[in-house]
Amino acid sequence: MSYNNNLQTIEDRISKVAQKKGRDAADIHLVAVTKTVDVAAMEKLYDLGIRHFGENRADVFTEKVEAFADKSDIVWHFIGSLQTRKVRAILPYTHFLHSLDRKSLADEIEKRATQKVACFLQVNISEEDSKHGFNADEAVAFVKEQDYQHIEIVGLMTMAPNTDDEHTLHHVFQGLKAVQLEIEKLKIPNVPCHELSMGMTNDFEIAIEEGATFIRVGRALVEEN
């Protein structure tokens, strides 16, 4: 199966779920997670019309940004855990940061940024020890207390447990949606919090059912069948 077939299958699945939930599929952004493929593979995806690319390592992120320097229409997403010492390197190229998971990282972004940085607050809804991020209460408290000038919290991000239990997945994604709505209603400056980044290869359809506006898909997009 080619990348073209992979993409078509994913887009069909997105459309089917969106139609089922009365949503516009155009409101659901597919972020191609390309951490396992090289620039040549990314060029194929670009030629198929993909413009949102997500990387999780700062060094690889900057290398790929440089490789596509002539493609001004690419939207770059940093989706991995970010060390504060790497902020300076990725900040000029990052359109969306999906992993704002602690105050010290926010402080460093504020210190280094020269313009608004669109961030997703990472929320550990499942409260797994292996996952980074604020818990639900900490996320609400953080946005109430923050007073950053260069950070715009556009939404929330979570990673669901690695499980086939659909009930668990629905519960986690519903939980993130509830926190998003709670924060959105606060109408805090620089915290519009309209977006939800959730759902990957194994669970993006359930995430869309529960309100995802950005899904991060890698394996289903780039695997060779």
Q: CATH number of the domain at 170, please.
A: 3.20.20.10
Please name the residues in contact with 125: beta carbons below 8 A apart, sequence gap of 6 or more.
Answer: 135, 136, 158, 160, 172, 175, 176, 179
- Residue 118 has a CB neighbour count (10 Å cut-off) of 17
Q: What is the pLDDT of residues 35-61, one digit of tens each?
A: 999 999 999 999 999 999 999 999 999
Instruction: Determine the average pLDDT of the residues in 127-142.
Output: 94
Predicted local distance difference test score (pLDDT) of residue 217: 98
| Rounded Cα distance, 36 and 34, in Å | 5
Would you say residue 89 has pLDDT above 60?
Answer: yes
What does the alpha-carbon distance between residue 50 and residue 182 come to, in Å, rounded to a whole number? 32
pLDDT value of residue 225: 62
pLDDT for 1 beyond 80: no
Answer whether residue 4 shows pLDDT above 70. yes
Q: Does the pLDDT of residue 157 top 80, yes or no?
A: yes
Amino acid 45: pLDDT: 97
Residues of the chain above pLDDT 90, percent? 96
In the predicted structure, residue 123 carries a pLDDT above the cut 90: yes
**Segments forming the whole domain that contains residue 172:** 3-222
Domain count, the chain: 1
